[in-house]
């Protein structure tokens, strides 16, 4: 993962890079204004470590700007600070930071906090993908409903009159699956048998 480190002190820049560069691509900003400009780019890192006090915008000010910008508001932001009292920590979190770490950073702690950020960003991406799939499914269902509704509308003949639906055959025909021709053939056969029977009786009498 690409990580932006906004730190004006060369010593802490090098220290943070040594801790994180093995598993991540590190991008350095030397002040708050530069960090804010980098975070607005289309290819900006989604995780940033921001020093609290630095030239230009402070870390909390960058956090506020990120949260106010809808296109990048989901970035994961960690404040790096020498301030470690409760009031300062709460102030940083209220400004929009997701987490904080005190100077000088402990290697294992920093790596652990970055991993937390990576997990949260991965979850955000999963939720986003599921939301897209749900919207696509909803759109397909809507189109199917519209298509079904259109197919059930009455049609019109060439003269503009509403076409009448074909009359259903009598219930007896539907039940037995026979057409009128079938019944006519059966009737003719019955008449033929009756005539043959009469002829046979007449022949016996003579």
Give me the residue spans of the domains in the chain. 2-129, 171-205
pLDDT value at position 173? 46
CB-count exposure of residue 38 (10 Å: 0-12, 13-18, 19+) = middle
The answer to whether 31 and 8 are in contact (CB under 8 A) is yes
- Which is the CATH superfamily of the domain at 2-129? Response regulator (3.40.50.2300)
pLDDT digits (tens, 9 = 90+) for 103-153: 999 999 999 999 999 999 999 999 988 888 888 888 877 777 877 777 766
What's the 3-state SS for the chain? CEEEEECCCHHHHHHHHHHHCCCCEEEEECCHHHHHHHHCCCCCCCEEEEECCCCCCCHHHHHHHHHHCCCCCCCEEEEEECCCCHHHHHHHHHCCCCEEEECCCCHHHHHHHHHHHHHHHHHHHHHHHHHHHHHHHHHHHHHHHHHHHHHCCCCECCCCCECCCCCCCCHHHHHHCCCHHHHHHHHHHHHHHHHHHHHHHHHHHC
pLDDT at site 83: 84
Rounded to whole angstroms, the Cα distance separating 20 from 3 reads: 9
Structure tokens at 118: 């990576």
Cα-flanking dihedrals φ and ψ of residue 88, to 5°?
-70, -40
**Residue that is written with structure tokens 């029977």 in the block:** 197
Structure tokens at 67: 């949260």
Compute the C-alpha angle 1/49/18, nearest 5°.
Answer: 70
* pLDDT exceeds cutoff 50 at 23: yes
pTM of the predicted protein model: 0.66
Q: Kindly state the average pLDDT of the residues 148-169.
A: 61
> In terms of Cα–Cα distance, which of 81, 96, 89 is closest to 39?
96
Please answer whether residues 81 and 103 qualify as being in contact, where contact means their C-beta atoms are separated by less than 8 angstroms: yes
Residues 47-64 pLDDT 10s: 999 999 999 999 999 999
Contact 17, 108 (CB under 8 A): no
Two tokens, residue 27: 């991008």
Distances (CA, A) of 95 to 61, 66, 117, 155: 7, 10, 17, 63
């Amino acid at each position: 993962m690409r990580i932006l480190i906004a730190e004006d002190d060369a010593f802490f820049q090098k220290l943070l890079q040594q801790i994180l560069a093995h598993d991540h691509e590190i991008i350095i900003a030397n002040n708050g204004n530069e960090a804010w400009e980098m975070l607005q780019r289309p290819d900006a890192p989604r995780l940033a470590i921001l020093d609290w006090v630095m030239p230009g915008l402070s870390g909390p000010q960058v956090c506020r700007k990120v949260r106010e910008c809808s296109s990048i508001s989901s970035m994961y932001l960690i404040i790096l600070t020498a301030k470690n009292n409760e009031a300062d920590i709460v102030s940083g979190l209220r400004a929009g930071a997701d987490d904080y770490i005190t100077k000088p950073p402990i290697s294992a702690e920093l790596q652990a906090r970055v991993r937390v950020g990576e997990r949260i960003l991965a979850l955000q991406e999963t939720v986003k993908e599921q939301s897209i799939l749900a919207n696509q499914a909803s759109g397909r269902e809507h189109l199917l409903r519209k298509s079904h509704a259109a197919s059930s509308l009455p049609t019109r003949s060439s003269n503009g009159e509403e076409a009448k639906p074909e009359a259903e055959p009598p219930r007896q025909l539907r039940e037995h699956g026979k057409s009128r021709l079938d019944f006519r053939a059966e009737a003719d056969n019955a008449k033929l048998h009756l005539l043959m029977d009469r002829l046979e009786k007449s022949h016996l009498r003579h």
